[in-house]
Amino acid sequence: MGYSSASADVPGDVEGGKHAAPTGGASAHVSGDGGHVTISASTELNGGDRDRLDYVEREDDPLQTPLRRGRGYSVAPFFSAHKWWVSPARLALNHYSNDGYSFGDKSSWAECVGLEFRYSFAASSALLVDAGYEHFNSTGVDIAVVSGLTAEVAYEWRYPLDAEYKNQLILAPGLGYEHLVIQPGDAQSATLSMGGFVPRIRLGWRHLLAASAGLDLSLDGGAVNFFAYSDFPFYPRGDATSALVALNVALLWGL
């Protein structure tokens, strides 16, 4: 009868470690009795439960942002230059002249600053709401000084020009509103207030500088029939209709 044994240990156990490397041992036993040979072997992992695999969180898809294919909110400070076919001051004071229809008439130009808010529903559509302060160009010899508020609600469609949505065409029909205060240059005349709903349509180009930041350039146009608040919906001084063309620049941030 013969007997032999062998064992092997696997190094690498780190005592007291939270994630100790598994260790193992092996043994073999050989015996012979009456011409019979018995061989037994056993192995054991001494490292306890298997080590847990570190969980690596999948990175967010950059296309799933509110300015690309995803849902969510975005905000954008904007600047606009408005050109009216007829100066609101001339409409309010019933002061018509050839200058009132002149492209260079400064009283028919206004600058606006404000904020846009968007909620993106899907890859190609969003609800747009904006509001801003509007001031018409004027000097001390103008017939009136005009300023007020401009606002719009629109539904925006965007059409990507590349797979990463870095460049998009924007189409946004909407309804605007103008609230204007006219301070006549004649000190004896009273201040007037008037408003008007402006159906508008916007066409523009969007370039994304990052996953959640971009630049908008757009043109939009519309028409308005102003009214005095005390005489809604009609204006007592006759025809108070004017057309609007606007150039808009906005810097967008996804939230």
Hey, what are 223's tokens?
């028409």
Average pLDDT over residues 177-204: 88
Q: Are residues 102 and 208 in the same domain?
A: yes
So what's the pLDDT on residue 44? 52
Query: Is there a domain that residue 52 lies in?
Result: no
pLDDT tens-place string over residues 86-105? 888 878 777 655 444 566 67
Buried b (16+ CB within 10 A) or exposed e, 89-120: bbbbbebeeeebeeeebebbbbebebebebbb
Q: Are residues 10 and 86 in the same domain?
A: no
Q: Are residues 89 and 160 in the same domain?
A: yes
- Whether 214 contacts 252, CB under 8 Å: yes
Name the β-bridge partners of 167: 207
So what's the pLDDT on residue 147? 92
Q: Are residues 153 and 216 in the same domain?
A: yes
Instruction: Provide the 10 A C-beta neighbour count for residue 153.
Output: 14
Say how far apart CA 154 and CA 128 lie, in whole Å: 5
- Mean of pLDDT over the chain: 79
Q: Are residues 108 and 40 in the same domain?
A: no
Look up the domain containing 18 and give its range.
3-45
Query: Is there a domain that residue 64 lies in?
Result: no
Look up the CATH number of the domain holding residue 219. 2.40.160.20
Q: Are residues 9 and 78 in the same domain?
A: no
% of the chain at pLDDT higher than 70: 67
Helix (H) or strand (E) holding 90: helix 88-93
Q: Are residues 222 and 179 in the same domain?
A: yes
Q: Are residues 133 and 236 in the same domain?
A: yes
Q: Are residues 141 and 210 in the same domain?
A: yes
Q: Name which residue leads in pLDDT, 154 or 59.
A: 154
Q: Are residues 76 and 133 in the same domain?
A: yes
So what's the pLDDT on residue 38? 56
Residue with tokens 């709903």: 197
Query: Is there a domain that residue 62 lies in?
Result: no
Query: Is there a domain that residue 56 lies in?
Result: no
Query: Is there a domain that residue 136 lies in?
Result: yes
Q: Are residues 15 and 113 in the same domain?
A: no
Query: Is there a domain that residue 185 lies in?
Result: yes
Query: Is there a domain that residue 179 lies in?
Result: yes
Q: Are residues 78 and 158 in the same domain?
A: yes
Domain count, the chain: 2
pLDDT tens-place string over residues 43-94? 555 554 545 544 444 446 778 889 998 899 999 999 999 999 888 887 877 7
